[in-house]
A and B are shown apart, each in its own frame.
Chain A
Amino acid sequence: MTTELPVLRTERLGRSIGQSLLVSDVTIEVPRGEVLAVVGPSGAGKSSFLRMLNRLDEPTSGSFSIEGRDYKEFLPRELRQSVGLVMQTPFLFPGTVETNLQFGPAQRGRALGPQEINSLLERVGLLGYERRDVTTLSGGEAQRVSVARALANDPVLLLLDEPTSALNEEAKMGVEQLLLEIVHASHLTCVVVTHDRAQAARMADRVMVMEAGRMRKIGTVAEVLGA
C-alpha cells in the first residue's frame, strides 16, 4: 500500500475579523475519495471554513494544503480550479446552460467540445439542456447546472455548501441522489456542509461537528451521529 498524500489537509486553520473569531484551529485530513460532512448550528463557521478552502476568504492563521501543496504556492485562480465550490444558491451567469459550463475551462483558454458538454450534462441528468436559457430552469435544474459547471474544471476536491437547502423537498432528494452518484462514480473527494444530520449520514463517510468556529468532534458517521 502506497502512502498517498491526503487531498486536503488543514493545519490549525483559522480566520478572524477584528475581534470576532469565525473559524479557529481546525486541523483535519481528507484522504482521496472520502466524503466529509460538516455539520453544526447556524453561525458555527461552516461556510467560513469552506470559503477559505477555495480562498474566497483569506485564512488569518494556520494553513492548508491540496495534495501536499501549500495553498500559498498556488495562484488563487489555479487553486480555485482544483477546488470546486458549489454554493447554496447557484448564481448562474446570464445566457445558456452551455455558456455556464464553458466558463471555467475558458479561464484557462480551453473550450469544451460537444462531447464533453454532453457527458457533463449526462452526469447531472440534464442531457439536451445545453441551449436552454438559464432563466427558464427550475431551482433543482439550476443547482444541477452549477454542479456541472464546477465539474467542468475537473476539480480534485469538491466543496458543497448546503447544496440542497434552497430547494424544495422533491428537488432536494433528486440533487442529493445525483451528488452521491457523481461523487462515488468519479471517486471524488468532497467536503459537504449541511445542517441536516440525516443528509450527512446518507452522504458522508465521516462527519465533523463545528460549534462557535471550532471543531467539536470528527469521526465516522456512526461515531459522531450515533446509530
Chain B
Amino acid sequence: MLKHWFAGHLALGLAQAALAASVALVVMFIARRRSIHLEKDISLALIRGIVQITAVGTVLVLLLRGPRWTGGLILLAMIFTAAMISARRVRTIPHAWKVSLYGILAGAGSVIALMSLAGVIDSAITALVPVGSMLIANAMNANSLALERFRSDVQAHVGQIEAALALGAVSQVSVFPYAQASFRASIIPAIDNLRSLGIVWIPGLMAGMVLSGSPPVYAAVYQFVVIAMIFSSSSLTCLVSTSLVRQNVFSEADQLLLRPSAHVAQ
C-alpha cells in the first residue's frame, strides 16, 4: 500500500519507519492506561535506534567506496573493543583484556581471515564487515560467559584448588576442571543456535537476504554457513581464553590470588 504512494527509497523508508514507530507508540499508550509508564524510555529508544542505525547505514555507504583493507581495519578495531568489553566483566582477573584479545583474535580473527580467503565470506567490505562483526560479537559474548564462569568457579573452589597446589600440582592443573567447565558452558548458546536453527529461530540475516531478493534456499544455506562459523569462532575463542586465563589468577610462585573476598595477596 505504501509503495503506491511513495516513489523514492528514502521517502518509502521514512514512511515505513513512521508507521512502525506509531505502532510502538500505541503500545506505549496501552501500557500507560495500565499505569506502566514507558513514554520516556520508549521515545528515547526509538529515536536512538533510528539515529544509530541510519548512521551505520551511512557509514556503510561510505565504506562501500573505500579500499578493501579498511574492512580489515574496522574488524580489528571491533576485536579490540570486544576484548575490552568482555574484560570489564572480570575486573578481578588481572590482564583479562589481554586474554580476551588473544582469544577473540585467535577465534573470530582466524575464522574471518580463513573464510574470506576461501571465499566463504565475500571479501567486499559490505559483506566482510557485517558478517565479521557477527562473528566477533558472538565470540565476545561466549568469551564473557567463559571468563565470568571461570572467575566464579575458582572463587567457589579455593579449598580444592589449594589442596591440589599443596599436593604439588602446578597452577594450570589445579584449576583445569574449572577452565574445562567454563569452556563447556560458554559454547552452549552457539550449540543451541545450531540445533534450533530454522525451528525456533529464523535469524535476521536470512530474513534480510530473502527481503532483499536472494533465492530463499541460498539464503537459508548461507544462514547455516554463518551460524556454523559463529560456532567455530566462538569455541576457538573460548578454547584459547580459558586456557590462557588459568595463569592469570596465580602469582609467580603458583599461589592463588583470586579469592572470594577479592583481597589480592601481595
Verify if A10 is at the interface (C-beta below 8 Å from B). no
A104→B170 CA distance, assembly (Å): 11
* 17 sampled A-B residue pairs with Cβ under 8 A: A17-B265, A17-B266, A56-B255, A76-B254, A77-B165, A77-B170, A87-B159, A90-B163, A91-B162, A91-B163, A92-B163, A93-B160, A103-B169, A104-B167, A107-B169, A108-B168, A146-B163
**In the assembled complex, how far is the CB of residue B253 from the closest CB belonging to chain A, in whole angstroms?**
5
Whether the Cβ atoms of A77 and B254 lie closer than 8 Å is yes
Give bound CA distance, A120 to B160, whole Å: 21
Q: Is the CB of A89 within 8 A of B159?
A: yes
Cβ proximity bits A142-164 to B, threshold 8 Å, 1 near / 0 not: 00001001100100000000000
Q: Which of A41-78 contact B (CB under 8 A)?
A: 54-58, 60, 76-78
Interface pair A103/B253, CB less than 8 Å apart: no
Q: A81 an interface residue at 8 Å Cβ cutoff? A: yes
Q: Is there contact, CB below 8 Å, between A58 and B164?
A: no
Which of A90, A107, A146, A150 has the largest number of chain B CB atoms within 10 A? A107
* Residues of A within 8 A of B (CB-CB), count: 28
Known: A55-B253, A57-B265. A107 touches B173 (CB 8 A): yes
Q: In the complex, A54→B169 CA distance in Å?
A: 12
A54 engages B166 (CB within 8 Å): yes
Specify the main secondary structure of chain B where it touches its partner. Answer: loop
B4: CB under 8 A from chain A? Answer: no
| Given A58-B255, A76-B253, A107-B173, A93 and B165 contact (CB-CB distance below 8 Å) | no
Least Cβ–Cβ distance between A190 and chain B, in angstroms: 15
Tell whether, in the assembled complex, residue A107 and residue B170 are in contact, meaning their CB atoms are under 8 Å apart. Answer: yes
Residues on the B chain within 8 Å of A108, using CB: 168
> Chain A nearest CB: distance from B179 CB in Å?
15
Contact assessment for B163 and A93 in the assembled complex, using a CB-CB cutoff below 8 Å: yes
A-B contact count (CB 8 A): 70
The residue from A17, A58, A60, A80 contacting B166, defined by CB atoms under 8 A apart = A80
Q: Which of B123-181 contact A (CB under 8 A)?
A: 159-160, 162-170, 173
Task: Kindly list chain B residues whose C-beta atoms are within 8 Å of the C-beta of A87.
Answer: 159, 162-163, 166
Contact of A8 with B by CB under 8 A = no
Q: Report if B263 contacts A (CB, 8 A).
A: yes
Check: B54 CB closer than 8 A to any chain A CB. Answer: no
Q: How far is the CB of A222 from chain B (nearest CB, A)?
A: 33
Contacts of B162 in A (CB 8 A): 56, 87, 91
Is A85 in the interface zone, CB < 8 Å from B?
A: yes
Q: In the docked arrangement, what's the CA distance between A146 and B266, Å?
A: 28
Contacting residues, chain A, for B263 (C-beta < 8 A): 17
Beta-carbon contacts of A189-215 to B below 8 Å, as 1s and 0s? 000000000000000000000000000
Query: With a CB–CB cut-off of 8 A, which chain B residues contact A153?
Result: 167-168
CA distance A108 to B170 in the complex (A): 10
User: Within 8 Å CB of B170, what residues of A?
Assistant: 77, 107
Q: Are A104 and B265 in contact (CB under 8 A)?
A: no
